[in-house]
Amino acid sequence: MINFEEEIEKFQPSPEIEQAEDVINNNDLTDISDIIKMILKEKENTIHFDK
């Protein structure tokens, strides 16, 4: 049984066109390649630090 109060809370306001710039800027564009690169960089730094 759906609880209206709970259900309505799931609805979020839709961004307006004037807010499109904010939406684009706040978009998380990190992909797997970025993560891999970041991991590899961290790994390199760790090795360098250990040395």
Binding residues for other proteins, rule: CB under 8 A, are 1-2, 4, 7-9, 11, 13-20, 23-24, 27, 29-34, 36-37
The CB-of-50 to other proteins minimum distance in angstroms stands at 22
Closest CB to other proteins among 29 and 50? 29
Query: Is-contact 36 44, C-beta < 8 A?
Result: no
Q: Which helix (H) or strand (E) holds 33?
A: helix 32-50
Taking Cα atoms as reference points, which of 43, 24, 40 lies closest to residue 32?
A: 40
Closest CB to other proteins among 32 and 47? 32
